[in-house]
A and B are shown apart, each in its own frame.
Chain A
């Protein structure tokens, strides 16, 4: 662990980079999924099609996906972010749409009876009630994106994978240990953190 003591700034930079690209991808994917998910909650056809397409994207192996994008967008962060967005779409669209569909019809009827408009019902009734399910999707997507970002270091997107790959190519075990364990810790911490948020939201809406 002498390597870690001397290079902790390098590890912190990689960790920060990892968090930034993961968070950027999640933000883009969340905005897209929210729009598609709201549409899918109202139309069975959109629901089936959006899940079929995003499910197909989800099945593609991470490294194969990154490789397939290279001839189109080249190496680097843009490639990685497209790939990470594509991987999180299925999980988040599914949860946004099913979360909205599970809102009881009586509640929406009551809101309409109170004279609320469709936009108001969506923003003040449906989305808040669907929030626990949406956050559950966000949680799985976050873990997926953190995992994809590790691989994305290979196409020069930066992040914790950089440490792992340089450790592998230089046959230097401490770097592999630090990179891999930090990535694992980040994934577990994000999962647990969002699990707490999810539980708090469930208790609040129950």
Chain B
């Protein structure tokens, strides 16, 4: 059985497997964290400026259509190979979904709600923090969720530019046509992507303000 052989491979090479798994998770988490740290404040800053928002959404939409591997490959001649170039490329890939969702979510906040908050004497910053952001949170988290799956998938491709991670087992497995090794990379990578999707799906529900949850 291939799966048994794959399991035996992991048992025989625990350091290699867990090392690759660790790099995969670290690369994905760092890229997602950086992308959130960049896209979320950018979306908030652009919230009042309709034309700048439209421009950002258009740019992000173009960014989203770019093939992941093409972005990773383009980074290589400029920044070289390794962890940092991979991190840079994956952060770029994670930006568009988060930025698009932050911008559209903030734009869709009911203007009456903002008016009511202003009437209560809230300052601009308070309205953003206590009204607009909480109301926009579910959609923002939907964007983070999309980005998380994309980053975990993209991190598999990072193996091509020397980023390490679980993709290393897949590329080695294809090069040697070693089936068990293919599975050692592919199955954990799949579980990781599904885990990320589940985790952020759950966070999306948790972050939805109590009054907005579907009953």
Q: Beta-carbon contacts of A50-87 to B below 8 Å, as 1s and 0s?
A: 00000010011111110110110001000000000000
A38 to chain B, nearest CB (A): 27
Is B21 an interface position by the 8 A CB rule?
Answer: no
Interface contact B170-A180, CB-CB below 8 Å: no
Residues of B within 8 A of A96 (CB): none
B172 to chain A, nearest CB (A): 11
B61, B74, B152, B186: the one within 8 Å of A67 (CB): B186
Give the CA-CA distance A180 to B66 in the complex, in Å: 9
Given known contacts A154-B174, A180-B74, is B69 in contact with A164 (CB within 8 Å)?
Answer: yes
Name A's interface SS.
helix
Residues of A153-196 at the interface with B, using a CB-CB cut-off of 8 Å, are 154-155, 161, 164-165, 167-168, 173, 176-177, 179-181, 183-184, 187-188, 190-191
Segment among B48-56, B125-133, B188-196 that sits at the interface with chain A: B188-196
Is A41 an interface position by the 8 A CB rule?
Answer: no
Interface contact B185-A67, CB-CB below 8 Å: yes
Interface contact A151-B69, CB-CB below 8 Å: yes
Most buried by B among A59, A64, A70, A190: A64
Residues of B44-97 at the interface with A, using a CB-CB cut-off of 8 Å, are 61-62, 64-71, 73-74, 76-77
A187 to chain B, nearest CB (A): 5
Is A125 an interface position by the 8 A CB rule?
Answer: no
Interface contact B185-A64, CB-CB below 8 Å: yes
Interface contact B69-A147, CB-CB below 8 Å: yes
Residues of A within 8 A of B71 (CB): 180
Interface contact B189-A61, CB-CB below 8 Å: yes
Interface contact B70-A71, CB-CB below 8 Å: no
Most buried by A among B61, B77, B166: B77
Interface contact B77-A177, CB-CB below 8 Å: yes
Given known contacts A176-B73, A183-B70, A187-B66, is B189 in contact with A168 (CB within 8 Å)?
Answer: no
Total residues of chain B contacting the partner, CB 8 A: 40
Is B134 an interface position by the 8 A CB rule?
Answer: no
Interface contact B65-A70, CB-CB below 8 Å: no
Query: Looking at chain A, what size class is its interface with the partner chain?
Result: 35 or more
B120 to chain A, nearest CB (A): 38
Residues of B within 8 A of A56 (CB): 194
Is B100 an interface position by the 8 A CB rule?
Answer: no
A183 to chain B, nearest CB (A): 5
Most buried by A among B76, B186, B190: B186
Give the CA-CA distance A173 to B74 in the complex, in Å: 9
Q: Beta-carbon contacts of A95-136 to B below 8 Å, as 1s and 0s?
A: 000000000000000000000000000000000000000000
Given known contacts A146-B67, A164-B70, is B149 in contact with A64 (CB within 8 Å)?
Answer: no
Interface contact B70-A168, CB-CB below 8 Å: no
**Interface on B for A, CB 8 Å cutoff?**
2, 61-62, 64-71, 73-74, 76-77, 149, 152-153, 156-157, 159-161, 166-167, 170-171, 173-174, 179, 182-183, 185-187, 189-190, 193-194, 197
4 tightest A-B contacts by CB?
A61-B153, A147-B67, A173-B77, A64-B186
